[in-house]
Structure 1
Amino acid sequence: MISRRTLLRGAGIGALVVAVPVPALAAEGFVPNVFVRMDAAGRITATVPRPDTGQGVRTVVALMVAEELAVDPGDVALEQAHGDTERFGAQGVANSTSVRQLSTPIRTAAATARCLLVTAAAERWRVPVAECTARDGAVHHPRRGRAPYRSLVRAAAALDPATVPVELTPQDRWRLLGKTRGGRVDARAITTGRTRYGIDSRPPGGLVAVVARPPWIGAVPDTIDDAATRALPGVVDVLPLIAPAEGQGGVAVIARSTHQALRGRDALRVTWRGGTPTADSRAWLADLRAALPAQSPVDGLQRVFEMPLLAHAPMEPMNATAHVRPDGVTIWAPTQDPGSLRTQLARQLGLPASSVRVETTASGGAFGRRIEPDPVLEAVACSRRAGAPVQVLWTRADDMRNDSYRPMSVHRLSAEIGPDGLPIRRAHEVVTWPLTVLPIFSNPALIKASGDHFPYSVPGDVTVAVRPAPLRTGFWRSVYAGQFVYAEENFLSEIGRRSGLDQVALRRSLLPAGSRLHQVLDKVAERARWSRPPAPGTARGVACLEEYGSAIAVIAVAEPSSRRVLRVHAAVDVGVALHPSGVRAQVEGCVVDALSTVLGAQITVREGQVAQSSFGDYRWARIGQTPDVDVTIVPSTAPLGGLGELAYPPAAAAIAAAISGDTPVTGMPFGADVG
């Protein structure tokens, strides 16, 4: 086992490089490291081990390093790690784990650098280390004065870190972490166009490819007439792609520009065979309904909830760039997991991992979609054929109609109600599809573990039946929890309405006293002034969730007659909120996703094809529909929790309950036909 503090020399003469193992991941068989380095001029660089898909990982890394090194965040240059699990550990952005798993190792790496610098200064001045302090990029002593970090780098690099005690900066001395001031460190670069996304990656001599994709689900090319395409200016080649080794399959047109590639695709004449040209999501929904058991195990109030397909629809459509050479391959991609992608490509191409480099670009949204490699596999196939770098671009319609969708599901909830109006026994029966992108998710127990987070003291059980998925399905923000929690919370709201119970009091009575959910529920009720009657013409909805090591309660206020959501209040306990403004941004993003899906965004399939092709018919919420969002961060001594997916399930449930008013909610999207 590598020591907790290890100094790696070799980044240049006089440079201080600190590497600290990631203990949270060591049990998975890795010995990963995150790095903080300082050059001879005192310039600080932090390596960000995981991608930033919009959730603010880069900002939190900068704040942690700046806090421990006692410098300004602007003094910390950030370097995005390439794919390398041996060096950086697990690099996947999933399950709201990034900040949780990086906090201790990155802070420890920066604190180790600080302690080495302080020790070097103390030895130079021949004074006790305890008399020295780090502040504003220098070490200070009451009598000896000030030594800038740059003057101490060489001496610090010569020390053995195993002999230097390391202490993290205690929370009561934080200057940056946990403070409300400050936004994203990359905000200016993003808003001025300097940030380079995957779609901006075009190496010198690079070509562009677009893919003619099947007109119905599962079809493959039968005949290809590419004569007209090859005759067009700029077209370099036409390449059939075979799934799954080369992505989702289809016919790629490789050209010298995007415009030429799109023209070439339009000129292709392809006939298709196989697949399911008559597929219809209404029939899929009927199949799920029919798979429910004939009889519920609990007699009493009963409701069936139906959940539609949902697309990820990130603002940056799918793309990837590959340069396959005789000696290896380089990838530029907005991936959620560069380390695993590198391993997969090395295995698939028969190359040593050292010959595969995955450069992680900024990502214009992900929400689970970019954990999949299909655009990269398409780019690799095209580059091998062309002998040059090739960027594969998906149009918005390509992205919308060839996604890995959130599965459909049907939920039947039943409850026996006691004389006091409270539920005394419950049942939740689920029929859904697996996640085809990860076959292990055909296991009902795993689906239940992902989705079922019922926190209330009502005995009962959840059963899951899995039907074969008729199209690609994948991870969508909060995975199965978004569906389970939506059904459970809306069913509990209906129980409260039928029994004439206050919705907040109902939940308080069923939650363990003193629990984290009790605290956030009380706080959000206070913020939303729950004790006052709702304004005329308005209704309110409530929902809670404890998951990802965090707890949240949400109250939504809406006008049922207009289906307009006026306000959403959220109180969240994430343990220690390292970057409060980032916490609020994550909750706000989840609220917009929740509002969009409740108001009607869904994917439907007709005649074998996804009907939606853009934001024109996949109706994500517009600015004018977005409510005021009030986020309260509840002080907590709990360990650091996750956040990226936390707010979506309860926000969707609370919004649906508020819009419904006194009408029972029976599905999602609210007021629309599912399927």
Structure 2
Amino acid sequence: MLRGAGAGALVVAIPVPVLASGGLVPNVFVRLDDAGRITATVPRPDTGQGVRTVVALMVAEELSVEPGDVQLEQAPGDTERFGPQAVMNSTSVRQLSTPVRTAAATARCLLVTAAATRWRVPVAECTTRDGAVHHPRRGRAPYRSLVRAAAALDPATVPVALTPPEKWRLLGKTRAGRVDARDITTGRTRYGIDSRPPGGLVAVVARPPWIGAVPDTIDDTAARALPGVVDVLTLTAPAEGQGGVAVIAKSTHQALKARDALRVTWRGGTPTADSRTWLSDLRAALPAQGPINGMQQVFEMPLLAHAPMEPMNATAHVRPDGVTIWAPTQDPGGLRTQLARQLGVPATSVRVETAASGGAFGRRIEPDPVLEAVACSRRTGTPVQVLWTRADDMRNDSYRPMSVHRLSAELGPDGLPIRRAHEVATWPLTVLPIFANPALIKASGDHFPYSVPGDVTVTVRPAPLRTGFWRSVYAGQFVYAEENFLTEIGKRSGLDQVALRRTLLPPASRLHRVLDAVAARARWTRPPAPGTTRGVACLEDYGSAIAVIAVADPASRRLLRVHAAVDVGVALHPSGVRAQVEGCVIDALSTVLGAQITVRNGQVAESSFGDYKWARLGQTPDIDVTIVPSTTPLGGLGELAYPPAVAAIAAALAGDAPVTGMPFGVDVG
């Protein structure tokens, strides 16, 4: 785990699982230089989930310094050195916690051993704090005075012990905020959209006016005559992104003006596509049913866009000796591998610089903006930044698929469900063809935790437009339908919603604990205030468990409060845990209140936050997050809260009316 990096430098490699080989490869480094400065390399992108902060906290904890004493470097794309780098499936902190802490602890133990050797005292008598090794009689030795001696030690001879949780100063403590909060709020953070190398050009793309269209004729005479325009080229999908006509200019303004001056005719595609027709087709795809003995309900789910605050962008510089990419990608290592294969060059000649991301939610796992930038740079030989406008982003996304869910239940004499059936008709994710497999969709979406036997069947229809990973993937739709159907069963049977779920959950489960915790925080046993109603939902996924209670005023369609109790194992960064839950709650509220994508005449109708109505500040409820103490292994969190939050919020806002679709009361077509 240790290797030299030049005279006077102590470099500790972090072993990260390489899934393809099943082994551990020393990839990510904790480094101390001659001056005692500590640098940690962050192997995963930070898309807002706070992985940089957690890495800083882990390194600072093990080296007995403050987070501000740890300089962070973002790793470039390189799976051979850094292992898997994709930010997806809520795995970043789970997969990095032990390796990062071990790397920093190894550095600490080497420094302590070097000091003990110098002082000729037992290692056990030495402690660390404030960037130094301390001994009751020998005094204090700053790390900078020990770096060379520590680097000369054989790490195989030095026992390494992680700091136990009972001695943590930073991890698990509420006082630790984001290490990059000041830079974010003062505009210092460099996002992908800020990447503009010297001599770089800007490109924007005239995109198809309806789904699947390709350019037929192109008259670029007027565009090329405008000031600053460098070139116009046709992009071919999928090798060069989504396709279209790219205009390359010296500035963003010039590129946009030239795009407006293009005269393009289009052919092919589906100019008559309509999301209302798609929804009808999914309804018809549900299996034929026999007589119903019990309850039945149908839920319809609309298309959703990712809508990150930072629209899609990427910068590329293709040179004779290689290519450099600057992009807010969720998978720098995978992107590097793909580009090397596509360009027919060694991976060593491709460098992917990972920029900060202004939101991702699954969209930035895809490479299409990068492929567009590469095509433009190959044409000019200069760095080119491809920029998407907000309308480009909204109308050319990889959307969360539509789905229709039909749930049935047989009820016992006590009103409890004794048999269930859940039939789903949906689309695959076009970004990953294996999701055409119904079993994979079921595994992604169905996390029904209650002791009710039954069957879940999935019918997959061809997707009529691009679809992709959206926060929680299929679970957001499955859990929405399952939890709200259970709510309707409780209403019909006159059962308390929390008691209903407690009765059906396996005894002594994690969900029992979080459900009891959230019920206590929400004072569930007290009657709701006049004019208010409540919704409840649970989920165990990503190695974590959560329960949500929402309180709303249905008459005004106003969400008042959301309580959540979450068990993520050991919460390394409590304020980050709360922030992730809060973000999921806002996403859930937005989709319940009506944010959706509709298609008319082959085109996505929505183009901005003016018509893709994400929740505004005045609609934001009080959000109370309880972190339930736990000794279970570390779990994931980035996607966990959305499915139960959207179900509980919909139930609360519906009041006495049944929830039948999302957003309820709105024609999802």
Please state which band the TM-score falls in when normalised by the shorter chain.
over 0.9
- Alignment correspondent of 1:232: 226
* Alpha-carbon separation, structure 1, partners of 2:188 and 2:232: 33
1:206-605 superposed matches below 5 A: 206-295=200-289, 299-605=293-599
Equivalent position SS for 1:246: coil
- What is the CA distance between 1:340 and its match in structure 2? 0.1
State whether residues 296 and 414 of structure 1, in contact with CA within 8 Å, keep that contact through their aligned partners in structure 2.
Answer: no
1:268-309, Cα deviation, whole Å (9 max, x unpaired): 000000000000000000000001111068631000000000
1:7 correspondence with 2:29 = no
How far the C-alpha of 1:28 sits from its partner, in A, is 4.4
- Measured in 1, the distance between the counterparts of 2:401 and 2:372 equals 24
Contact 1:32-1:85 at 8 Å conserved across structures = no
- What letter corresponds to residue 9 of structure 1 in structure 2? G
Residue 405 of structure 1 aligns to a residue whose secondary structure is coil
Shift of 1:31: 2.6
- 8 Å CA contact retained: 1:30, 1:86: no
* Equivalent residue letter for 1:636: S
| Partner of residue 608 from structure 1, selected from 602, 605, 611 | 602
Relative to structure 1, the CA distance from residue 30 to residue 164 in structure 2 (aligned partners, 3 Å threshold; closer, same or farther) is closer
- Provide the residue aligned with 1:94 in structure 2: 88
Query: Deviation at 1:644?
Result: 0.2
Partner of 1:329, secondary structure, is: strand
Q: Is the 8 A contact 2:13 2:103 kept in 1?
A: yes
Q: Deviations over 1:435-492 (max 9, x none)?
A: 0000011000000000000000000010001000000000000000000000000000
Q: 1:298 to 1:32 in 2, by over 3 A?
A: farther
SS in 1 for 2:277: helix
Unaligned 5+ residue runs, structure 1? 1-5
Preserved CA contact (<8 Å) 1:30 1:85: no
SS in 1 for 2:635: coil
Q: What's the CA shift for 1:670? A: 1.7
Q: Verify the 8 A CA contact 2:549 2:648 in the aligned structure 1.
A: yes
Matched, 1:49 2:62: no
DSSP-derived class of the 1:185 partner: coil
Match of 1:138 among 132, 141, 146: 132
1:20 offset after TM fit, Å? Answer: 2.6
Between the aligned partners of 1:503 and 1:305, the Cα distance in structure 2 is 20
Stretch of structure 1 that moved more, 86-95 or 23-32: 23-32
Residue identity opposite 2:366 in structure 1? E
CA deviation map 1:147-192 (0-9, x unaligned)? 0000000000000111110000000000000001021000000111
Letter in 1 for 2:197: P
Kindly indicate whether the alpha-carbon contact (under 8 Å) linking 2:57 and 2:171 is maintained by their aligned counterparts in 1.
yes
Please tell me whether the aligned partners of residues 410 and 431 of structure 1 are also in contact (alpha carbons under 8 angstroms): yes
Letter in 2 for 1:575: G
Deviation, structure 1 residue 134 = 1.1
Q: What secondary structure, in the 3-state scheme, does the structure 2 residue paired with 1:375 have?
A: helix
Partner Cα distance (1:30, 1:150) in 2: 30
Matched, 1:622 2:606: no
What is the identity, as a one-letter code, of the residue corresponding to 1:70? Answer: S
Tell me if structure 1 keeps the 8 A contact 2:534–2:550: yes
Deviation of 1:29 after TM superposition, in Å, equals: 6.2
Q: Give secondary structure in 2 for the equivalent of 1:649.
A: helix
**Structure 2, unaligned stretches of length 5 or more?**
none
Is 1:84 the counterpart of 2:89 in the alignment? no
Quick one: which amino acid aligns to residue 277 of structure 2? A
The amino acid of 1:529's aligned partner reads R
The Cα of 1:26 is off from its aligned counterpart by 7.0
Paired residue for 1:155, among 120, 142, 149? 149
CA distance in 2, matches of 1:234, 1:610: 31
CA distance in 1, matches of 2:24, 2:220: 48
Which amino acid in structure 2 is aligned with residue 504 of structure 1?
A: V
Query: 2:195 pairs with 195, 198, 201, which one?
Result: 201
Cα distance, 1:22 vs structure 2: 1.6
8 A Cα contact 1:180 1:581, kept in partner = yes
Q: Secondary structure at the match of 1:33?
A: strand
- Quote the offset at 1:7 in angstroms: 1.2
Contact 2:18 2:24 in 1 (8 A): no
Contact 1:552-1:646 within 8 A present in 2 as well: yes
What SS does the corresponding residue of 2:551 show, helix, strand or coil?
strand
Q: Give the counterpart letter for 1:205 in structure 2.
A: G
2:658 aligns with: 664
Q: Distance between the aligned counterparts of 1:560 and 1:296, measured in 2? A: 35
* Alignment of 1:37 onto 2:31: yes
| TM-score, with length taken from structure 2 | 0.99
8 A Cα contact 1:586 1:643, kept in partner: yes
Check the 8 A contact 2:14/2:30 in 1, yes or no: no
Aligned pair count?
Answer: 669
**Identity over aligned residues, as a percent?**
88
* Displacement of 1:27: 4.8
Match of 1:3 in 2: none
Q: CA deviation at 1:135?
A: 1.0
Tell me the secondary structure at the aligned position of residue 561 of structure 1.
helix
Match of 1:166 in 2: 160
- Does structure 2 conserve the Cα–Cα contact (< 8 Å) formed by 1:409 and 1:433? yes
TM superposition shift of 1:107: 0.3
> Which residue matches 2:116?
122
RMSD: 0.9
Determine if the alignment matches structure 1 residue 66 to structure 2 residue 60.
yes
